[in-house]
A = this chain, B = another copy of it.
Amino acid sequence: MTHEQPSDQHRYHHGDLENTLRSVAADLIAERGVAGFSLREVARRAGVSHAAPGHHFGDASGLLTAVAIEAFTHLREATSAAIEGVDDPSDRLAMLARAYVEVATTNPGHCAVAFRHDLLNNDDPALLAAGDQAFAVLSDVVQHVADTVNPDLDVINTSRLCWSSMQGLIELHPSMTVVSKHRGEAAPPPIGDLAEIMARQAYAGFEP
């Protein structure tokens, strides 16, 4: 991905600036973190003037919202692909958890902004729809547990538990590594493995 024009170096009209800016923004955030993100740096990397992003996305939160929408789309695609053909309800949950955290670490730029309500336009209908569709995949998997194993399961709150666990793991995995090192314990497993372990542990419960 070069974000450049094919032949003519400096056409006045870029042609596909909107997608380019979104892609460059995600890369920039992945590289320097949310704090290192700036509209002007995005514009520089895309080879356009410093005010061009503002024209397409209104302001910084507009561009970040576009990145977040893409994040939810990735999330939905990866999780629904991961549970394809998996029937056992516990396995389904484990596969979904692994896919969830791995797509987040594969696309760190997207993931870093997806739930940052302080940076996004939370009223954006496209954002709401994308988030809803991503959550629906998880909700269906938990519903599948209820249908096949436990009709008394509190589906909605169990879905919230699973969602929180996965999202919390993404946020805390660096801290877990730091804490383990500080206590002289072994480092935590890779995030995908740990997601699967946690999903199975929650599914099985804490009692024998």
Contact = CB atoms under 8 A, between A and B. Distances in A.
A141 B89 CA distance: 29
B198 A160 contact: yes
Most B CB contacts (10 A, CB to CB) among A89, A112, A142, A202 go to A202
A10 interface: no
Interface residues on A, range: 35 or more
Contacts of A93: 206
A17 interface: no
Stoichiometry (number of copies): 2
Contacts of A157: 188-189, 194, 197-198, 201
A55 interface: no
A57 interface: no
Nearest to A135: B179
A81 interface: no
Contacts of A171: 115, 164, 167-168, 171
